[in-house]
Every structure is written in structure tokens, then in C-alpha cells.
Amino acid sequence: MHYKVGILGATGTVGQWFVKMLEGHPWFKVKNLAASEKRVGKKYGEEVNWLISQDIPKYARDLEMVPLDPKYFDVDIIFSALPAEVAREVEPIFAKNGFVVASNASAFRMEEDVPLVIPEVNADHLKLIEVQKSVRGWDGFIVTNPNCTTIILVLSLKPLMDFGIKNVRVASMQALSGAGYPGVASLSIFDNIIPFIKNEEEKVESETLKILGKFDGNRIDFAKIKVSASCHRVLVLDGHTEAVWVTFERDVSVEDAIEAFESLKPLQLPTSPEKVIIVRREIDRPQPRLDRDAGKGMSIVVGRVRKSLEKELKYIVLGHNVVRGAAGASILNAELMVKEGYID
């Protein structure tokens, strides 16, 4: 089982993680890389400002970058790491031309007929693909993964849903890599916390409800819970930390919540971690430097689970924002689509 893949936006932070994570993938082989017009015709290894600690993977160094145009792609799957405004224009062109687009961009996440998927949470939302193709008349389709902060939060909420969640409050402490490259100016972030990230709170509050909603055969019936987010940029390279408060319809014990966290089953896919949620019982964990690479960056880590107000628990959850929260999320979605027969 081998599928040829292409990457749009290959030179950016998330694009580089796609290149890294697809090295030696058992199902997918990178054939085409695309970036901005000024890089077309140039070798990837000579143009990219590589941000990941290891060297650029050998397979990618001599790949010649192509335009953001379907006629230059001979692949089965497109991974998109494009900025939202570019993705809004480019991704539909690929979908119309029969390509499967696994997108990390925000452009189409909240479209009624576009699946917004975390495989361990709402794999059945892939059924929207047939709705999308019918409504839009496309031969291909677009499937999106959520915002990085949303993914980390929702993975932790999924096992708690059976207790009857009423509302969720979350305060995020988000890593610099989430801002892309070149990111936040050094004189703005050193010795500082920036208590505003444009559009981030709105994404968390809306995407969570779509992901936890139910597919009714034609659309997603959003979850009937309330979500309130406050998002902040902090001086950490990788790894988003989130403080979460969850109010339930009934009283839930700490041990019941921990048991639920640990019960979330991984999928049998190449990029799946052995454990989706790792619970740390140390009083001072999770921490980005110690825990962001858990499960090769594809696990989330929960700690400090404790009682709060009546019928409320609070905890800390951490995840690698550009692995689990971005490139790895799209790759896992593509693997799921292969497993479920959406990709020939």
C-alpha cells in the first residue's frame, strides 16, 4: 500500500513538519513540494530555512519545488500547510480536479459540508465527504483538522463526554512555533506574555462544538455545551499548555476522570501513539520541556486533575502543537481516510 503525496506550503513551519514526519512513512511517499512563486524551480534543500533540529531529510533535499497548480502534481493526496487566505483560493482548485486534500489550514474548517476531524474523536464525520462532493460537484474533496489548541483540548474532553459536560473554560499558554515563521518578534515576547492571539479564542470556541457534535446524515448537529477560551502566547518553543475547567451535569470524582482519560483508545494507524492520553500524577506536570514529545509528539499529557467548584473538575493538558496539533493531525486524518476506503 503506497500513495504518492504532495505538500502545499512546504517551506513553512508546518510544511517542514510534514516533510519530517513523512520521511520513511509506510503508506505515503512525498513526490511533489510546492511553495511560494519565488521558490518554483528551486531545490527544497537549497531554499528552505530549516527550523527543526535535525537535518533536512535526504529524500527532500533535491526535490524541485513546483507551483500551486494541480497540473504539476501527480499524487493521490495533498497535504496543505498554506496560510488560510491562500488555502481559501487554492485548495478548492485541487479538490475540483479530483485530489484528496488533507488540510491544516483554517479556511474551510467551519464550512457545513467539510469534515473537521480528530480521528479518535469523530471519525464518523468523514461521512460528510459524500455530502461535500454532491453539493459542490467536486471529483475530490477537502478534509480539515482543527486548530492546534482545539485538538489538545478536545482530545481531553472526549472521554469526559459520557459524564454530561455542561460547560468548559480553558486558558491556553501557547508556544512560539504556533505563530509560524518568523513568529513573534523577540523584543515582544522576551520577559513577557502576550494575552491575545488573533482569532484563536473564536476558533477554540466554535471548532470544539462542531467536532463534539453529531452527524445527522446531512450536516453536523453541534454539541450543546458552552465553551469559553482565553488564549495567550508565552516564551516556549513547542508545546501548548492549557488549564481547563469542566462543569458536569453530575458530580464526577477525580479517579473516575483519570480512568476515563486513560481509556481513550488509539487507532491502529501508522502515526497513532500507543496511548492517546498519558496521565501524570506528579504535582508539577505536565511541562512543555518534559512532556511535549510524549508518543513522538502525538500523545497529549494530562495532569493536576482535581476538584474545583460543585460538579466541576479542573486539570492541565499539554500537547505538541505542530506535531499532534498540525502536521501529525493531517497525516493521521489521511491514514484514517485510507483505512476507511475514502482514498482508492
Query: Which one is catalytic: 125, 148, 231, 320?
Result: 148
Q: Distance between CA 222 and CA 197 in Å, rounded?
A: 25
The position carrying cell 459524564 is: 163
Q: Which of 196, 203, 283, 181 is nearest to 234 (CA)?
A: 196
Q: Is 320 a catalytic residue?
A: no
The position carrying cell 502566547 is: 233
Question: Collapsing DSSP states into helix, strand and coil, what is residue 59?
Answer: helix
Is residue 333 within 8 A of residue 102, CB to CB? The reply is yes
Task: For 121-178, give the DSSP string.
Answer: HHGGGGGHHHHHHHHHT-SSEEEE---HHHHHHHHHHGGGGGG-EEEEEEEEEE-GGG
Q: Is 148 a catalytic residue?
A: yes
- Burial track 98-137 (b if 16+ CB lie within 10 A, e otherwise): ebbbbbbbbbbbbeebbbbbbbbbbbebbebbebbeeebe
Is residue 296 within 8 A of residue 24, CB to CB? The reply is no
Count Cα neighbours of 95 within 13 Å in the Cβ-side half-sphere.
25
By the 10 Å C-beta count (0-12 exposed, 13-18 middle, 19+ buried), 55 is classed as exposed
Question: Vertex 7, ends 6 and 12: CA angle to 5°?
Answer: 165
Q: Distance between CA 52 and CA 322 in Å, rounded?
A: 11
The position carrying cell 467536486 is: 138
Q: Which of 96, 90, 97, 130 is nearest to 114 (CA)?
A: 130
Q: Distance between CA 90 and CA 81 in Å, rounded?
A: 11
All cell numbers assigned to 272: 497513532
Query: Which one is catalytic: 2, 231, 232, 240?
Result: 240
Report, as residue numbers or ranges, the catalytic residues. Answer: 148, 240
